[in-house]
């Protein structure tokens, strides 16, 4: 049998109005009032029409009161908590994977394992977990965290969190509830139950999860680390990584680095897929696309003097058109991304203004500018040349920039044979071509039976 051609993964970072800071101010955009589920549902249905693998919901918990003067400058209050949102989206979609962000600093494994198992059943096996462990000041103060763990400590807690969650999902055999016997009055066989007894550095858990094992075994694990410890964490635990790179060389280096770390965890290179972020400006001609990009850039330039900072590092005391000074303090969150920005500034001799522009408008992600065919060709280039397994789109204005991609770029990708024309499987795991993880008790059970 011929091996199926490798397929591109398409994900979208779903935001209410789009990534452009002023997307909400367009005359046609409905704003204000209570959060409206239909706005989210329409975007995700559009993605499903485009046969996307993933609708991704980021989450940055906790609002610090520090920036109260500027709080009115950004749209707020329109977002839902991701796990709750995905439960509702499950009812209006059938195929697309729904990836919810959950932070391991402010939760207990039991609650989260239970919610993801519930969601996996509610979605028919389409749930993914973007595991994050970032800790902003606002989040710390929202949860009364007086002595936050350091960066490495947070990744260590996240690793133990996942380990406990997996044990919780494995507390029941896959078929534990498949043989209730009304005659004998025995609902299930005690041999199909595996209580967990975990006593680690961060968690102590003696229990059984009160829901059946997820349809997918475990949710699909996503992660977005970039630091040394973040990459190692991804190599051990993640199945997809949200990456950020602007040049093919940078993307190839990252791709090679993380895939190269897998063998020591007994994993194959294809067990971890890399999906960098993607901004795109589509025109009916290259010139029209370039004009769209320039107007996008100019609208950001006006804001830079007011907010002269990058990843939380204050740059306001340095001249905007001068170079990035040496020996700046490193941020608490996002060290990896910060170092990427510093390396870019040095490599291309960028002024502070130019560096902030590059990162603020596209947050260090790839930008494609051109016709739909140009964009599909450039996506294919990274996909075929060891730089990406797919992309995470960052549409600037919703719904129009996403509609453009679905209607114009997706058919070009399909023509090239690198993107599906129909969903192949029922679950997110199946559509991504990942194996379903077996229950960790299966082997010991088989050995006992033998």
Ligand X SMILES: Cc1cc2nc3c(=O)[nH]c(=O)nc-3n(C[C@H](O)[C@H](O)[C@H](O)COP(=O)(O)O)c2cc1C
- Binding residues (CB under 6 A) for ligand X: these are 58-60, 101, 103, 132, 134, 224-227, 230, 242, 244, 277, 333-337, 392
Position with the least CB separation from ligand X: 230
Nearer to ligand X, 93 or 226 (CB): 226
Q: How far is the CB of 286 from ligand X (least distance, A)?
A: 27
In angstroms, what is the minimal distance from the CB of 420 to ligand X?
23
Tell me how crowded residue 106 is: count the other CB atoms within 10 A of its CB: 14
- Least distance (Å) from ligand X to the CB of residue 136? 8
173: which 2 tokens? 């055999």
Which residues have CB under 8 Å from 256's CB, separation 6+? 386
**320: its two tokens:** 């905007």
Closest distance of CB 293 from ligand X, Å: 20
Q: CB nearer to ligand X: give 40 or 172.
A: 40
Q: Which of 132/406 has CB closer to ligand X?
A: 132
Cα–Cα distance between 357 and 17 in angstroms, integer? 21
Closest CB 172 distance from ligand X, rounded Å? 30
Q: Which is nearer to ligand X, 252 or 333 (CB)?
A: 333
CA angle 298, 300, 306 (to 5 degrees): 125
Nearer to ligand X, 143 or 318 (CB): 143
Least Cβ distance, residue 287 to ligand X (angstroms) = 30
Q: 218-243 burial, b for 16+ CB within 10 Å, e for fewer?
A: bbbbbbbbbbebbbbbbbbbbbbbbb
- The least CB distance from residue 83 to ligand X, in Å, is 13
Smallest separation (angstroms) from ligand X to the CB of 139: 8
What CA–CA distance (Å, rounded) separates 112 from 83? 10
Looking only at the bridges linking them, the beta strands covering 366-370 and 309-310 are: unpaired
The encoded tokens of residue 317 equal 């005391």
- By beta-carbon proximity to ligand X, the closer residue of 152 and 263 is 152
Q: Which is nearer to ligand X, 126 or 394 (CB)?
A: 394
Q: Which is nearer to ligand X, 60 or 265 (CB)?
A: 60
What is the DSSP code (8-state) at residue 124? T
Distance between CA 47 and CA 25 in Å, rounded? 23
CA gap 229, 232 in Å, rounded: 5
Please give the angle made by the CA atoms of 277, 165 and 108, to the nearest 5 degrees. 90
Q: Who's near 35: CB < 8 A, 6+ residues apart?
A: 77, 78, 79, 80
Cβ proximity to ligand X: between 363 and 414 the closer is 363
Residue 395: CB minimum distance to ligand X, A:
14
Distance (Å, rounded) from C-alpha 94 to C-alpha 117? 18
Burial of residue 184 (number of CB atoms within 10 Å: 0-12, 13-18, 19+): exposed
- Give min distance, CB of 192 to ligand X, in A: 36
- CA-to-CA distance for 175 and 150, rounded, in angstroms? 41
Number of residues in the chain: 450
Smaller CB separation from ligand X, 134 or 246: 134
Q: What gap in Å lies between CA 237 and CA 156, rounded to an integer?
A: 12
> How many whole angstroms separate alpha carbon 233 and alpha carbon 245?
19
């Amino acid at each position: 049998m011929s091996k199926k051609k490798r397929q591109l993964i398409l994900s979208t970072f779903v935001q209410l109005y789009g990534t452009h800071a002023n997307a909400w101010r367009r005359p046609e955009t409905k704003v204000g009032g209570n959060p409206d589920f239909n706005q989210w549902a329409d975007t995700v249905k559009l993605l499903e029409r485009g046969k996307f693998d993933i609708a991704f919901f980021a989450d940055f918990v906790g609002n610090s009161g520090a920036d109260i003067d500027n709080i009115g400058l950004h749209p707020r209050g329109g977002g839902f908590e991701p796990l709750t949102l995905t439960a509702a989206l499950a009812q209006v979609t059938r195929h697309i994977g729904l990836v919810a962000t959950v932070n391991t600093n402010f939760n207990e494994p039991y609650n989260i394992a239970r919610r993801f198992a519930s969601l996996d059943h509610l979605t028919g096996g389409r749930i993914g977990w973007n595991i994050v462990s970032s800790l902003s000041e606002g989040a710390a103060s929202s949860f009364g965290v007086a002595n936050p763990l350091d960066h490495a400590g947070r990744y260590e807690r996240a690793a133990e969190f996942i380990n406990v969650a997996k044990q919780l999902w494995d507390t029941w055999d896959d078929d534990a509830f498949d043989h209730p016997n009304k005659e004998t009055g025995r609902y299930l066989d005690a041999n199909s139950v595996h209580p967990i007894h975990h006593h680690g550095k961060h968690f102590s858990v003696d229990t059984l999860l009160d829901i059946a094992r997820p349809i997918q075994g475990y949710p699909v694990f996503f992660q977005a680390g970039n630091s040394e410890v973040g990459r190692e964490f991804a190599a051990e635990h993640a199945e997809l990584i949200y990456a950020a790179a602007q040049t093919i060389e940078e993307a190839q280096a990252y791709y090679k680095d993380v895939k190269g770390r897998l063998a020591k965890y007994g994993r194959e290179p294809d067990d971890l897929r890399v999906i960098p972020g993607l901004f795109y400006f589509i025109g009916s001609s290259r010139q029209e696309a370039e004009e769209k990009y320039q107007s996008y850039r100019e609208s950001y330039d006006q804001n830079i003097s007011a907010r002269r900072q990058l990843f939380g590092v204050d740059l306001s005391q340095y001249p905007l058109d001068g170079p990035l000074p040496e020996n700046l303090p490193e941020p608490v969150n996002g060290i990896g991304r910060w170092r990427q920005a510093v390396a870019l500034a040095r490599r291309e001799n960028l002024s502070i203004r130019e560096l902030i522009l590059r990162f603020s408008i596209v947050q260090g992600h790839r930008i494609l500018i051109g016709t739909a065919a140009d964009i599909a060709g450039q996506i294919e280039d990274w996909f075929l040349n060891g730089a990406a397994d797919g992309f995470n789109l960052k549409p600037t204005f919703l719904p129009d920039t996403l509609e453009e991609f679905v209607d114009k770029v997706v058919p070009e990708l399909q023509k090239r044979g690198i993107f599906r024309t129909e969903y192949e499987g029922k679950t997110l795991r199946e559509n991504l071509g990942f194996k379903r993880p077996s229950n960790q008790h299966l082997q010991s059970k088989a050995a006992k039976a033998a």
